[in-house]
Structure formats: structure tokens, C-alpha cells
Structure 1
Amino acid sequence: MTDYSIYRVMIENALDAFFLTKPDGTILDVNAAASSMFGYSLEEFKVIGRQGIIDIDSPGLNAFLEERRKKGKVICELIGIKKNGERFPIWVSSVIFKQDEQEEKTFTIIQDITERKRKEQELRTSEANMRMILDNTDELFIIIDRNLKVINFNKATEVKSQQLLGVPFEKGKSILDSAQPERVPLLKQLYADVLNGAVRKSVVEIPAIHGNSKVVVDIRYSPIYEDGLIVGAIINVRDITETKAKEEELLRTNERFFFAAKATNDAIWDWDIQNDKVFRVGDGLQSMFGYDKSIAAQDDTFWIQRVHPEDLDDMISKREKILYHTNELYWEDEYRFRKSDDTYAHVFDKGYIIRDANGTPVRMIGATQDVSQQKETEALLVELNNRLKRRAEELANSNIELERFAYIASHDLQEPLRMVTSFLQLLKKRYVEKLDETADQYIAFAVDGAERMKTLIMDLLDYSRVGSNTEPNENVDLNILIEEVKGVFSKTIDESKAHITVGPLPIVKGNRTQLLQLFQNLIGNAIKYQKDESPVIQISCTEQEEEYLFEIKDNGIGIDPAFHEKIFVIFHRLHSRSEYTGTGIGLAICKKIVERHNGKIWVKSMPGQGSSFFFTLGKR
């Protein structure tokens, strides 16, 4: 095979288009790649010539032709035209040669650079986009070469490097020129590692330019590869001062939250609603319900599965309504929850809802209490209240019946007593000359007994009236009322030479008849239960916030402390009838009157030292 044949085979199998032309552009020969690239056959190429495949409007075409004519060769970029009229970028290498005395010819190689141009455009677009992104971020990006010289940096570096790092950066200068001297050895080793393929990261605290605070930055060093080789490094600096401060505050908050949870018996929980994850702290889950919180955390449906089936739908419905159909910040509910021993506890669950700017719930923090004992107590109290209500109704009915009985019995008993007394007096009057002394004595005993029976019945009637009196309350001036009482006892006061002093008394709201009876009984007792000396009685009143406190003090025989409570019990007497008259009902009536006026009564006394009766009357 001749040299020509070899070259021909090589040209025919080349990927680039080969053209042999005359200076005027006539195409003499082409290879297969040329036909494939432009779509013409050799005969068609001969017809259309160079003018048919090169766009005459290609930028710089005339200059390129002139350069080839002068220099004999040219390399340039032009625009080719395919047979179908499609225009595409081409890379042209053309040379003029002359063999012996023959006519000059042109040998031209054409490459289709459409794909290359597309990639170049993509690269330019990508670089522009990357530059725009880097220039619009707050993070610092610095690019250095293998000699540690600064090649480029983004806008944030230009603006903030002094503020964040305390040093400016200049292109063409070594990155070590801006480092603190004490850090240079460390940085040299770090950059050596990075330029050998390592990625390094560090957090550095830098004193702020103004004030005593510090700037905390996160610095990342990464190698830059080109065609598989490391050609430099990129340094990324991020200001994390605020992030670190928030992290530290969050740690402190979580620590407080943890210890607060440890200090309570409640089961504390934190529900990430969007991811449906629950974080539990404290010992409440274990101590109240018998579950380990770490095991519970492994099952997202742990809690729901243990709510009583009869309560589950209602609980979920209420919770969903609060979360997604209101703007409420609190949710609470009561339901039954199954403990580890398969018994159910009544729980009170309450949570605080955290919502985003749109009001969507993102988190809820809450506590669960075991209120089983409280529920049992409430049920017991309800039962006791029902029993007490029934008992109160029974007692009220009984009291009404007793009051009616006492009232009716008192009236009915007085009639036969009057009859007995009248006939005994008639018997004594008619047979006064015929009865002996013994008979007269018997008649006297019978009359005295009838009179005492009448007195007892009258006292009983008074006692029953205290409970059944329906007279309306009125303003009662106690100063005037005491004067009435003194008028009732005027004869007794004169005979006993009693001395009664009365301090200023208020106007109270109450039943006048009962209040008159109250003071009458107490003053009467102070006069009656006396030693041989004249009675001295002092009546006073002290105003308090909600009531009036009264004291009736005497210099009488006194009362043993053992009987201070008993004297207010009906029919309880401390002396025989031969010593002091009475039925033992008077102080019981006083107690009943005071209690009906929202007060209480008591006594302070010692035998032989007189007595002080205290009682209160409510202002309302």
C-alpha cells in the first residue's frame, strides 16, 4: 500500500471533516465525515463550493480569509450551513499549500463544536448562577490554590471578613498572611491535610471588634478537584454566634425542664405533632402507671393503645377539635388509662399547644395526673352528700313533727292542769274547816306540782317556738330592748338590790321576740344564781368584722368547768329545786336563739367567782 493510500484511509476514517479546495472556494475533494456533517455528496460539494457551507455572515469571516492569504494558514470559529439549512458552530483550521509549480490549494479541517459550545454555555450559566448564589449568602467562601494564595471570594467575604474574622482578604495574597501568628503552624498542617484530600471543620471563638462579647464561627475546609486532581481548597465560614447562644439557652431550658419533671409525680410529655413523636421525661410514667419511659418511646402508639376503649373515640375527638378547629392554647381531658398491671386509672391530662404563624399546632407539652383516688373520693362524697341530704330531710320532717307535737301537747296538757289546780283550790276553799293540817299540806303539794308542770309546759312551748317562729327579721335597738328586760325584772331587781350596768349596744338585725327572750333568760339567771351579796351585772358588746360579741358578767355562784357544755342541754339542771327554781330549759332556749342568728354561745366561769356568758350575733 502506497503512502497516499494510507493517508487516504486515515482521512476517510477521521471524525473531523476534511476539505480540499481551490483558492476561489471550489471544493475538489471531501472525506466521509464532511458528507456526514453537512449532508452533501462529493458532487454536490463541487457544485455549491465553500460559499454553500460557510455562512457569509459569520463574525470576522473576511478578516480570517485575509489572514490566511497573508500567513498561509488560519484557525478560527465560524458558522457552518448544513444541506437542510441548519446553521451550527464550527471550528476551522485552514492552510494554503502549493505543490511544485501547480496551482495553490487549500486544505481545511472542520470540527462540529455544537456540543462544546453547549457545554461552554452551560458552564457559563452554572458559574453565573453559582456566583449569584454565593454573592447572596451570608456565609463566607474563599477559594485558594495549592500555594495557599487567595484566588477568589464571594461578596459576603468582602463585606464581613473583617467583622467575623478580624482580618480582610486580598486576591493573590497567601491565606496565611491574614492569620494570627500563633495559629500559622496549625493552619499549615490543616491546609496540608486538605490539599491531600481531607475535609476539616472547626469552631472558633473570635473577640468581637466592639464590646466584650465574642463571635463564634464554624469554618469548613474542603479540597477542590479538577480532572481528578486537587487544585486548591475552598474555605466556608459561617457565623453561629446566635445559634450557639440559642443552643446554650436550650440546654439550660432542657435542664430546668428535666429537673422540674423530676420534682413532680406527674407523667410529663412533649409531643412533636407534625412528626407524631412523643418525648417523655421524669419518673411519673413509671411511678404512677408502671411503664418505663424508654420502652414507651419505642412505640408511637403506646399511649393511644392503652386508653380505655370506651373513652378513646371521645378523647381523640375532643383533642382534634381543640387542635385543628380552634385557636385555643390549652387542651385538657379526663379519661381512663390502662396501667401495667392491667387495671385502669382515672387520669387528668392537660397540655399547652404551640402553634406556628398560621395557627397550625406544631407541638404540645403537657402532664398527666392519676386522679383515681380523687375520683373515688368524689364518688364517696356524692354518696355521703346524698345520704346527708336524705338524713337532713328526715330530720327536718322530724323536727317539724316534734315542734307540732310540742306545741299541741303543751296546749292540750295545760287544760287538765288548769282543771286539777282549780278543783284543788275549790276543794280547799269548801272544806277548809273540815280538813286537817296534813290534808292542807297534800293539797298544797298537788297545787305546787301542777304549777311546776304548767311552768315546764310553758318553757317547752317557748323552746319549740324558737324553731318554728316565722316572724320576719327587723332592726332591733338592743339599748331599748335591755330597758324592757329591766322593766320585766324591776320588782326582783329592787328586792335583790341588783346593780346592772350596760355599755353601748348596737342595732342588730334579728327576731325581736327571741332576742328579748335571750337577754331575759341570761339576765334572769344572773340575778337568780347569787350568793348572799347583791347581784352585780355588767352587759357589754364588742364589734367585730362579721359579728357582734356580747358579754353578760355577774358575781354569782359560778359554774364548775366540767359543766360548761352541759348547761346548754335541755332539762339539764345543776341544782335541786329546793335550792333554785327552774326547768333546765332556759339556757337551751338561749343556745337555740343564738344559733338561729348565725352565732354561738359559751361560758367562762369558776365556782364562787361569778360567770361570764359570751355569745355572738351575725351582722348579716
Structure 2
Amino acid sequence: MKQLMDIDDDEDITKLSILDYYPAWALKIVKEQGIPSAIANGTWLGETALLTEDGRELPVSQLIIAHKSANDKIDYISTVMRNLSQQKKAENSLKEKAQELKWSNQELLKITALLKKRNQELDSFAYVTSHDLKAPLRAIANLATWLEEDLGDQIPEESQQQLQLMQSRVQRMDGLIQGLLEYSRIGRQNTPIKTVDVGNLVRNIVDSLAPPPGFKIEIADSMPRLETKELLLQQVFSNLISNAIKYHPQESGNILISVEEAAEFYQFSVCDDGLGIDPQYHDRIFTIFQTLQARDTIESTGIGLSIVKKIVEDQGGKVWVDSQLGEKTTFYFTWYK
């Protein structure tokens, strides 16, 4: 009793009743429920509290036992108590955590609803912007084509060059708009998961890109089959292989597409023997709208590698480049199984 209530060992408590150490509410439970129930049934178990020397309430689990004589009369009543302070503290902590979790879930639901609304707005904006921008571009392209067809040789050579440059600019802008649309949709589309033969996927991509006859493109035999989002993997390979062809300084070259298997993912690589990339630009090339060559030299939107990076990282992988200026360039990316 002294240890439970933190009473000094030399203090005499023999003249005090245990009832003197109950707070009012606990004393009421003991008198109205505990003792009557123990007399009627032999025992009573419940939660009460005791008052410590400094006036604090100490939560306890209390067992009240009615001891009866042979003639079924009550000889005396005893009680056993167990300190519930740590248990109550843990329960209160759990309640607080549960309440925090409830608030967090409510906030998460609000944020999710807001994000869904913003995505819908972004889709609508992207569609309207695409339509509003592409319509005048088509008109400009058609106008340039009609001028060439109608006037033919009457157009001075310099003007013909200007018309061709205008058509090239229109095509670039159209590609830029399409690239922005693709970039904005990454991670927000319900892309189905399929069983993909990566070897066949890469071969189909190479066929669709129709590289110049002088290019030798080798695809490793060890390409896996895996359950994945085919469209996204196709976009990654298509951009990397297309860049390897587009930025090669010659009409002939070698491209090797290979894979290494790890425990949880595959590491794919696309290697070419082109100009190489200075290490100081290795991070820059993955930034949207960034190109290392003038757009008048090679038509490029500067979005392709940004799309690759966004897709790969959205799938939990990473992408990087290994290259030196004047040497081969190898793009690596990981793709989880």
C-alpha cells in the first residue's frame, strides 16, 4: 500500500481506513458497486483510483474480495490493487495518435480531392491549349504549302527558303505542344499492366523509327519478359533510341541495347558510338527544353529526356548517362520487376 501510493515507510497508516485514500468519485464506485457486488458474488473487479500524498490521482485496477465464514457470514473484506499508470499513459498516447491519424486522414482526403480537381483542370487546360495553339499552326502550315504549290517557281529562292524555315518552325512548335501534353500526363493516366516481351518491344520501336540503312542496332538476347506498363516502357526506349540516331554525326553508326538483372529490378542501357556528351552537361540534358545543339541544326523540342526521367522516376527507378566528349554515350535506367 505504501509503495503503491508513494508513502514514506516510517509513516503510520494503521489508524487510517483505505477509504480515506479514495477520491470522491472512486469512493462512490467502491461503496455503491464494489463492496455490494463482492458481498453478493464473492468478488468484484473494476477500475478506481487512489490519492497520493501530493494529491495526485493514481489509477488502479482493484479486486475486492468478501471473505465468508463457515456459516456464510462475512468475516472481513480485503482488496488487491494494481497500478495502471503506465497502462493509462500508453492508452492516452494511443488515443492521441489515433486522433492525429484521424485528422491526418481527413487532411489527406481533402488534399486528394483537391489534387483530383486540379488534375481535371489541368487536363481541360491542356486540351484547350493544344486545340487553340494547333489550329493556327495548321493554318500557317497550310498557307505555306499553298503558296509553294500555287506560285511554284515564281517564288524567289530566298523566299522559298523562308517558307521552308517557316514550315520547320511550325513542325517544331507542333512537336513542342505534343511533348508538353505527354509530359503533363505522365503519372496521371491509368496505364494498363501487361506481360511485355521487352525484346519484341524494342524491335518494334526500331522498326517504327526507320533508322538510316547505315545504322547497326544490336538488341541483346537476354531481354526479359515482365509484367509492367507497356506504354511507359515503350516511351522510354523510343526516346533513348531516337536520340541515339538523331544526334549521331554520321548516317551510319552502332547502337547496342542491353540489360542486366538485379534482385528487384532490371538495368537497361542504350549505347551509341556518336559524339559523346561532356560530363558538365550530364544533368542539364534531363532538364525540360534543354538541348546541347542549336535547334536550327537538329530539330528538337528538348522534352524527350525530360519525359524519360519523369517516367522512370515515377515508376520508382532512376536514369543517368555515362559519356565523355568524343566517346560513346550510354544511357542507363532501372525498371522494377
Does the TM-score normalized on the shorter chain lie above 0.5? yes
Structure 2 residue aligned with 1:602: 319
2:218 is the alignment partner of 1:500 = yes
Structure 1 residue aligned with 2:4: 279
Deviation (angstroms), 1:571: 2.7
Higher helix share: 2
Report Cα offsets for 1:162-191 as digits up to 9, x if no partner.
xxxxxxxxxxxxxxxxxxxxxxxxxxxxxx
Deviation (angstroms), 1:406: 1.8
- Whether the 8 Å contact between 1:279 and 1:297 is mirrored in structure 2 is no
* Within-5 A mapping of 1:129-528: 278-279=3-4, 293-294=6-7, 324=44, 362=80, 364=82, 368=86, 383=103, 386-467=106-187, 469-492=189-212, 494-495=213-214, 497-528=215-246
Deviation (angstroms), 1:569: 3.9
Query: Which amino acid is the alignment partner of residue 400 of structure 1?
Result: Q
* Within-5 A mapping of 1:535-550: 535-550=253-268
- Whether the 8 Å contact between 2:211 and 2:245 is mirrored in structure 1 is no
Query: Which amino acid is the alignment partner of residue 279 of structure 1?
Result: L
Specify whether residues 377 and 471 from structure 1 end up closer, same or farther in structure 2 by C-alpha distance, changes over 3 A only. closer
Q: Which runs of 5+ in 1 are unaligned?
A: 1-275, 281-292, 332-336, 354-359
Deviation (angstroms), 1:391: 3.0
Specify whether residues 386 and 429 from structure 1 end up closer, same or farther in structure 2 by C-alpha distance, changes over 3 A only. same
Deviation (angstroms), 1:459: 2.2
Paired residue total: 298
- Tell me the secondary structure at the aligned position of residue 86 of structure 2: strand
RMSD: 4.6
Structure exhibiting the larger radius of gyration computed from Cα positions: 1
- Whether the 8 Å contact between 2:2 and 2:9 is mirrored in structure 1 is no
Partner of residue 591 from structure 1, selected from 309, 312, 335: 309
- Whether the 8 Å contact between 1:489 and 1:524 is mirrored in structure 2 is yes
- Whether the 8 Å contact between 1:417 and 1:450 is mirrored in structure 2 is yes
Q: Distance in 2 between matches of 1:505 and 1:431?
A: 54
Higher relative contact order, chain-length normalized (CA < 8 Å, sep 6+): 2
Query: Which amino acid is the alignment partner of residue 599 of structure 1?
Result: G
Query: Which amino acid is the alignment partner of residue 239 of structure 2?
Result: N
Deviation (angstroms), 1:434: 3.8
Deviation (angstroms), 1:488: 2.0
Identity %: 30
Indicate the larger mover: 586-595 or 384-393.
384-393
Structure 1 residue aligned with 2:73: none
Q: Distance in 2 between matches of 1:295 and 1:405?
A: 76
Report Cα offsets for 1:267-311 as digits up to 9, x if no partner.
xxxxxxxxx55437xxxxxxxxxxxx45699797999759xx9xx
Specify whether residues 433 and 531 from structure 1 end up closer, same or farther in structure 2 by C-alpha distance, changes over 3 A only. closer
Query: Which amino acid is the alignment partner of residue 229 of structure 2?
Result: N
Query: Which amino acid is the alignment partner of residue 309 of structure 2?
Result: K
Q: Which runs of 5+ in 2 are unaligned?
A: 38-42, 64-77
Q: Distance in 2 between matches of 1:404 and 1:474?
A: 28
Q: Distance in 1 between matches of 2:107 and 2:276?
A: 43
Specify whether residues 481 and 461 from structure 1 end up closer, same or farther in structure 2 by C-alpha distance, changes over 3 A only. same
- Whether the 8 Å contact between 2:247 and 2:274 is mirrored in structure 1 is yes
Q: Distance in 1 between matches of 2:266 and 2:19?
A: 64
Q: Distance in 2 between matches of 1:567 and 1:373?
A: 50
- Tell me the secondary structure at the aligned position of residue 552 of structure 1: strand
Specify whether residues 383 and 481 from structure 1 end up closer, same or farther in structure 2 by C-alpha distance, changes over 3 A only. same
Specify whether residues 449 and 385 from structure 1 end up closer, same or farther in structure 2 by C-alpha distance, changes over 3 A only. same
Deviation (angstroms), 1:396: 2.7
- Tell me the secondary structure at the aligned position of residue 588 of structure 1: helix
- Whether the 8 Å contact between 1:521 and 1:590 is mirrored in structure 2 is yes
Q: Distance in 1 between matches of 2:153 and 2:179?
A: 37
- Tell me the secondary structure at the aligned position of residue 571 of structure 1: coil
Query: Which amino acid is the alignment partner of residue 419 of structure 1?
Result: A
2:312 is the alignment partner of 1:615 = no
Deviation (angstroms), 1:475: 0.8
Report Cα offsets for 1:406-438 as digits up to 9, x if no partner.
234324433332221111121133233443333
Report Cα offsets for 1:140-179 as digits up to 9, x if no partner.
xxxxxxxxxxxxxxxxxxxxxxxxxxxxxxxxxxxxxxxx
Q: Distance in 2 between matches of 1:303 and 1:558?
A: 85
Specify whether residues 437 and 279 from structure 1 end up closer, same or farther in structure 2 by C-alpha distance, changes over 3 A only. same
Q: Distance in 2 between matches of 1:534 and 1:498?
A: 8
Deviation (angstroms), 1:603: 0.1
- Whether the 8 Å contact between 1:471 and 1:511 is mirrored in structure 2 is yes
Deviation (angstroms), 1:341: 12
Specify whether residues 278 and 557 from structure 1 end up closer, same or farther in structure 2 by C-alpha distance, changes over 3 A only. farther
Structure 2 residue aligned with 1:581: 299
Deviation (angstroms), 1:558: 4.2
- Tell me the secondary structure at the aligned position of residue 504 of structure 1: coil
Query: Which amino acid is the alignment partner of residue 455 of structure 1?
Result: G
Deviation (angstroms), 1:520: 0.9
Q: Distance in 2 between matches of 1:302 and 1:611?
A: 86
Q: Distance in 2 between matches of 1:416 and 1:303?
A: 89
Specify whether residues 563 and 396 from structure 1 end up closer, same or farther in structure 2 by C-alpha distance, changes over 3 A only. farther
Specify whether residues 387 and 467 from structure 1 end up closer, same or farther in structure 2 by C-alpha distance, changes over 3 A only. same
Report Cα offsets for 1:247-274 as digits up to 9, x if no partner.
xxxxxxxxxxxxxxxxxxxxxxxxxxxx
Specify whether residues 558 and 386 from structure 1 end up closer, same or farther in structure 2 by C-alpha distance, changes over 3 A only. farther
Deviation (angstroms), 1:400: 2.5
Report Cα offsets for 1:315-337 as digits up to 9, x if no partner.
xx9xx9xx9569xxxx9xxxxx9
- Whether the 8 Å contact between 1:564 and 1:602 is mirrored in structure 2 is no
Deviation (angstroms), 1:613: 2.9
Deviation (angstroms), 1:585: 1.7
- Tell me the secondary structure at the aligned position of residue 474 of structure 1: strand
- Whether the 8 Å contact between 2:244 and 2:274 is mirrored in structure 1 is yes
